[in-house]
Structure 1
């Protein structure tokens, strides 16, 4: 059978283990070939091929609900549910999403992209099932990295207490986006080596069943012996103490072992945890040998060697590396600095920082809430914590940002990575909300540089700032290759920069949209329209002196931002103008509209939402034309 001919997973019911093995190889070959052209999450998917086949053979999707935590390991699931013929469009504009997507298939019962949500969702579905009186099975597949997330632990606690029929498959490959950390990781390590416990427990149960008239004191004695055996052979049976029946560890690449344990899990009442051991990247040597997480998510690569194919446009260093290198240099003379990351050491380019300052790089795992309040705690002790975090993941620590950092006006630096559109990872990862959710917080400073050189000065400025929390936004990708100053400079807080002079209108923008504004200025100048372009690098606070000069000149204003319009920078400009009594000033805004932006190349996404140079030119011309018409403001 060709993979492209698969419409649903029902055919697996009749497959032998030998046929499943052949199919697993075909799927791996397919993924290695397709992702070499499109990029994507290769390592996680190669690791769950057998597990996904076993789940779809044993359960009846979509009647039975299979929920993929994070979702970056759902490619095999997509192949088995009729989407193999769409893989040439994976993560591309209007193409197949790289995460579960409910509108794509009835088999995608839960949309995700952030970790640690599957257990809460599964519990909700289990409660709904029981209220409706149906008999569908609920299966949540969660990785060992995602299990460290606070939501997952909260859900485990609730599931264990309620004793709902629910199956948790713990996909344990000993590595999430980065090597896992923490006490729970150590618990799993002990469980991986605890096969003797399960064998001994089974033998004891078999022996007890042979005793006539089993009951009473003998039964309770046997249970105590089993408990003692558990503690003797396994140091802390974490999941059983939470109320789960624990099965495993199971070889996640052995169809017979998977089938036996999944069948047993189906028959068991109450919550069951099936601990499955898998090899991330299995079947492709470069991915199997990956110890740093580089094959977790990849761009295009050469299949034979695994060598990545770099885009030709990369002329400057990555913005993440600029932040990391700057922090590394400053830390040599400032022992207050402590850098915190929630499992993004590789993604945020902090590996070299960690090598030089191993005691001052703290990877807390997938635990953004903890990371934020940890930074606050450090700040109370006159340290200078820097939380390096993706914009889309900072959302997960929002209450802590409000309550623990901003409210106490603590000196925490937020290096907000992947701010703006990120492209192929799609709507769950677009960093477009952080301005809106940070701008309304008292004490908060927000800034974004026009290029990699200004970014390094902003990082330095943030470290020197001692009047509360400060956020430095930086986009995904590489800089333009501008010269980098040797010495760091402190940028005055709230100061803007005039990039181009003009007297008919003003464009206020920052970060990634500055090249767009400069190109618009050039086109407008050729058409005889004089426009001032301002690098509004401080989103909060404003450069009030420069802003007032624009308002006093009566210049129409166009704001441009690669962030949501609602509550964003443009909204702040409107508020300032209204509050200052300058309601006669014409203002137009460009930015992300009121919708979630799906996956695709950033250029295509910008065109789709009309965030382009051509649109900026037309909007400025409309503003200028409106101003020249006497008293016509609408």
Structure 2
């Protein structure tokens, strides 16, 4: 039973608690996270690892007057609990509940809606400069970035610019994989405390001033002194790269020792320059199963909190589209040694972990670096390989320039397998894949497909790998339909498939929307209504011939897609009708609305967005009413 958390409605309430009582607050936060995530799922191990860090930061800062930015934001649960959301934390990621990421609409303590990696340093730098322009330099800005987020190119662009500007700001590097440094201990903790004290930094500045004023040799003596200091620090701690970029480096320190955190961070905030504090934390801290297997518990499904064993979440007889893709790629790679696979830090989520086991030498995890992944794939393709880059739709947005310039402009046979296309459910607007058709569908040389079921995904993968041009296949975060699987077949490029002949109204459904459209058509048959049903298959090249043939026979064409209605498949069909001067048919487009759809269970969100079988039925009936 929580004692302190019910009293904490803001960080100001936290400061009323004696510092020596914070370990009890930390225990209550961990218990709350374990209770909630074991029930509803969510990012688990990363949040257990930053409890002490979040506590100390809010204890010494004055949020929201001071700003605290969490890069990616998947580790913001302790922050949410400490900023007035404890009572609602049980609604985490549920429809109408709190988000799994920071959200300014949810709290004034969340400056940005985040979920993608690496922008926090740029956000911190921009806010710092804005406050200087507004004469608010007493308002402090702090960003927390993980060692994974630091692998993104944007993070190094941020470090370069922040260091160049030389303004007061604090960056906390949360190193929870020990991938940057392992030499934590008494010596590095002691050295960090010494290097962060006002006395040391005052003496350091006075020595610099003194040496600069010594005629002839002062400059060389100052250079030698700095090199000696850097050499000694680099011998014990690994921060020289940050010093070279203009940051004062402190660390690594124990991220679970609140006394060390408090003294180091407090001193760092007093420095009049960019400071980076390197904090070592343990993913899953306080929950033994997560400490032993932090990878499994990074993003956890509901589990038994006593044992850590995942709870069943429905039938496993039907594979997910991700699993189908994974098996098909392994099958095809067995036949073709040119096939290689690339992921940007998502081997498990994209299903490529199985490929890595089967073909370790042909698998590349490039980290959180979608731009590199795409340009790297271009290089592989140019060298005669057949690269398959499996990337979530939301993260493909990060590599648009490389897709255009390095792949499509060069007309290289790179295959993009776009997972999580459409609504992803509980991860919300930051992760919905609503825009990929828009930025891929107008690119010369691109071939763009979406499967209606598991077998068609297999066929499309084989088809894409047979092309000598760029291609992309989009598929949803869901289980398949349970269709029987056969060997792959190469599809005719740009050809749609008529599933049901009919009259008056034609439904052109794309990918995941074929199933609800089929359900709607079956129900309409019982009412004596017989629309044409087309499985679109290709967004580019479009089947203009079939569109023309069908449009000449019906009064209304309805397009249905799990994508933004503004620039997806429906928009391409509209252009086709206009291009062919087919003025005698009315077009109705069904898709995701022009807004960022909130988080919630995927089926519920599809219904809310008007993409259920019932919504399709109603649209057909309304078209027939208009006709009469």
Do they superpose with TM above 0.5?
Answer: yes
| Change beyond 3 A, Cα 1:47–1:206 | closer
2:552 is matched with 552
| Pair 1:616 & 2:598 matched | no
57, 77, 80: which is aligned to 1:78?
A: 80
Q: 1-side partners of 2:272 and 2:52: how far apart?
A: 25
191, 196, 205: which is aligned to 1:199?
A: 191
Matched position secondary structure for 2:131: helix
242, 253, 265: which is aligned to 1:250?
A: 253
Q: Deviations over 1:522-551 (max 9, x none)?
A: 121111111111111112112233222202
Equivalenced residue count is 614
Q: 2-side partners of 1:160 and 1:465: how far apart?
A: 46
Q: 1-side partners of 2:552 and 2:319: how far apart?
A: 40
Aligned 1:59-78 pairs, distance under 5 A: 59-78=61-80
262, 265, 268: which is aligned to 2:268?
A: 265
TM-aligned CA deviation for residue 334 of structure 1 = 1.2
Matched position secondary structure for 2:42: coil
Q: 1-side partners of 2:79 and 2:194: how far apart?
A: 33
2:543 is matched with 543
Q: 2-side partners of 1:584 and 1:207: how far apart?
A: 78
Further displaced range: 401-410 or 13-22:
13-22
Q: Deviations over 1:224-254 (max 9, x none)?
A: 4223323544567111111111111110100
Q: 2-side partners of 1:79 and 1:63: how far apart?
A: 18
| Change beyond 3 A, Cα 1:209–1:124 | closer
| Pair 1:527 & 2:527 matched | yes
Q: Is the 8 A contact 1:91 1:98 kept in 2?
A: yes
Matched position secondary structure for 2:34: helix
Further displaced range: 566-575 or 618-627:
618-627
| Change beyond 3 A, Cα 1:447–1:42 | same
| Change beyond 3 A, Cα 1:598–1:209 | closer
1:428 is matched with 430
| Pair 1:500 & 2:492 matched | no
| Change beyond 3 A, Cα 1:489–1:220 | closer
2:464 is matched with 462
Q: 1-side partners of 2:186 and 2:151: how far apart?
A: 21
1:305 is matched with 307
RMSD: 2.3
1:281 is matched with 284
Q: Is the 8 A contact 1:197 1:229 kept in 2?
A: no
Further displaced range: 13-22 or 298-307:
13-22
Structure 2: segments with no counterpart, 5+ residues: none
Matched position secondary structure for 1:589: strand
| Change beyond 3 A, Cα 1:596–1:208 | closer
Further displaced range: 502-511 or 337-346:
502-511
TM-aligned CA deviation for residue 198 of structure 1 = 6.6
Q: 1-side partners of 2:563 and 2:6: how far apart?
A: 38
| Pair 1:442 & 2:437 matched | no
Q: Is the 8 A contact 2:192 2:264 kept in 1?
A: no
1:404 is matched with 406
| Change beyond 3 A, Cα 1:231–1:559 | same
1:156 is matched with 159
1:479 is matched with 480
1:569 is matched with 569
Q: Is the 8 A contact 1:195 1:248 kept in 2?
A: no
Further displaced range: 379-388 or 217-226:
217-226
Q: 1-side partners of 2:341 and 2:503: how far apart?
A: 45
TM-aligned CA deviation for residue 313 of structure 1 = 4.6
Aligned 1:222-241 pairs, distance under 5 A: 222-233=225-236, 237-241=240-244
TM-aligned CA deviation for residue 385 of structure 1 = 0.8
| Pair 1:513 & 2:513 matched | yes
| Change beyond 3 A, Cα 1:330–1:64 | same
Aligned 1:2-13 pairs, distance under 5 A: 2-13=4-15
Q: Deviations over 1:571-629 (max 9, x none)?
A: 111110111010111111110011011100112212222222222112112222333x4
TM-aligned CA deviation for residue 202 of structure 1 = 4.5
TM-aligned CA deviation for residue 200 of structure 1 = 9.8
Q: 2-side partners of 1:314 and 1:69: how far apart?
A: 34
TM-aligned CA deviation for residue 277 of structure 1 = 0.4
TM-score (norm 2): 0.93
Q: Deviations over 1:198-220 (max 9, x none)?
A: 73994999799699996544766
Q: Is the 8 A contact 2:371 2:402 kept in 1?
A: yes
| Change beyond 3 A, Cα 1:127–1:235 | closer
Q: 2-side partners of 1:227 and 1:301: how far apart?
A: 47
Q: Deviations over 1:359-383 (max 9, x none)?
A: 2111110011111111111111111
| Change beyond 3 A, Cα 1:306–1:455 | same
TM-score (norm 1): 0.93
| Change beyond 3 A, Cα 1:129–1:624 | same
TM-aligned CA deviation for residue 131 of structure 1 = 0.9
